[in-house]
Amino acid sequence: MVKKSLLIIKSSPGGLGNVEGFLRNRDWVIKSTTNLKEALIFLVQQQPAFVMISIDHPNKKVRNLPKILAQAFPVCVIAFSEDTSAATYELLNACPTEYILYPPVTGPAVERTVNKYYKDMQTRGLTPHQVRSADDGTQDGVIAIKGDGSFNPANAQNILAQMLAGDESSAMMSGPGSQKSGFATQGMGQTPLHGSMFTPHPKSAHGGLYAPLAKNPYGTWVPTGGSLPQHSRRTPEEIEADPRATKNDSVILRGTKQALESACNITSFQDSASLQQTTNVACIVIESSRFSGYLITAMAKNKNIDSAFMEKVQTRLFRFLKENGEDIKESERMDLQIKQVPFEDWALDCAEFLRKSLHEGNEVAMAFFPCNNVQTRYGDSPAEEMASIKLEEMAGNVAVEFNVYIYLPRNNKYVLYTPRGGVFYNVQKERLKNQGISQLHILKGDLQDLDRYKAQNFLNEKIQEFEEKVSAKETA
């Protein structure tokens, strides 16, 4: 189990984008979803250290999860809400978990809760996997230690399978082995698993990322590797033939294809790793008199893309564009952290074009997302080391990756308004507008961080649009 691993079960696809970005920038491994079935499959197979559960989730079964997970898994359960109503606060206060996040939820607040959890473990002299919040006859709020703290996959899978199948009568059975919570603990390992639990949803945009589990000779539960209904893996040629991969033929498309293919050390398609879920991408800013946007590169296994490889791609692309009459502006490449997304599906839906190749045993893909004004415009500030930016450049309810200041001309001072890693809220933005403040200030040394912030916000908005489309199709 990875220490900094987190599963987020949220109520809406676009929720907590700023929180996820903040945590990924601090090396958290995150799975975020609204799909209960997908979340529980991930939980069984990946066993994250922490699970955040939104009590606002439309599936009411989710409200039972804090108690169930604390009994079945070696995880810390954190309940949270994305709503600020009085009813929400009542639900949070009644939630059977020790760790609760009240709205608004922020990245720093999550890390403070995690630190509190580890401090509590140290104080109690326990290891994390020994802790369970229980309602087994002990007093409310008392931590109970059950058994030897080992994880029993069969028990966990059957509890969750019953939940997913809606088999509440069997889940609430009584008799030998039953507990006050209503979940049987004896004999469950012999109960056949619900086969549907480990089959990806046929409409899933993620293409069947999870495999059935089986025990290996060492007693560890691992994916079987068996075939599952999923998207067939497409070759670079098949991607290019897809009409969605070329919404508009252009000199940038032709240049990107040529630069990508010439920079790749092409290997066998059959032996290469496939490009699936992505959070790490490299970005080339494209800006000329005719084109403006972000050219995004992603690689299999969510790898950080080698700077030498990207240097080759950018040099060859810009040379091609200039040779074909484009007055392209030089720009710095950026490494971005975006919301987790199935890159190919997302790019086919939202990008102007997508091209794929193979590089040293890994699939690599490039997609172009048009965007006006990709370069952040900034002005002078009274202090030489500062720059002014328009208030409108700031996105609301998103964590910032630089210190944001307001300037007080009366005493010629800068006041830190939002620190690096903090969230700049919409309510703050509106308050500044109402006070007649139209400019904010940052250090000139942070301007590249501002460009990265702007690019990530733009791409995360595109991901949110894509997730909403997928969600609408699945519920149709």
- At a CB cut-off of 8 Å and minimum separation 6, what does 270 contact? none
Single-letter amino acid code for the residue at 441 = H
How many other C-beta atoms can be found within 10 angstroms of the C-beta atom of residue 119? 10
Bridge partners of 380? 387
Q: What's the confidence (pLDDT) of residue 47?
A: 83
Q: Is the alpha carbon torsion for 245, 454, 375, 260 positive or negative?
A: negative
Domains in the chain: ranges and CATH: 5-125 (3.40.50.2300), 236-370 (3.40.1550), 378-471 (no CATH)
Radius of gyration, alpha carbons of the chain: 25
The segments of the chain whose pLDDT lies below 70 read: 1-3, 125-231, 476
Place of tokens 């002299």: 125
Q: What's the confidence (pLDDT) of residue 25?
A: 85
Q: What's the confidence (pLDDT) of residue 12?
A: 82
**pLDDT tens-digit map of 429-445:** 999 999 999 999 999 99
The residue count for the chain: 476
CB contact burial 448-471 (16+ within 10 A = b; e otherwise): ebbbbbbbbbbbbebbbebbeebb
Place of tokens 């995360």: 460
d(CA 206, CA 458): 22
Bridge partners of 246? 353
d(CA 23, CA 21): 6
Using CA atoms, how far residue 135 sits from 51, 156, 350, in Å, is 19, 17, 48
Q: What's the confidence (pLDDT) of residue 225?
A: 40
For the sheet with 362-370, list strands across it: 334-342, 277-287, 292-299, 362-370, 353-359
Q: What's the confidence (pLDDT) of residue 349?
A: 95
pTM of the full predicted structure? 0.56
Give φ, ψ of 100 to 5 degrees: -135, 140
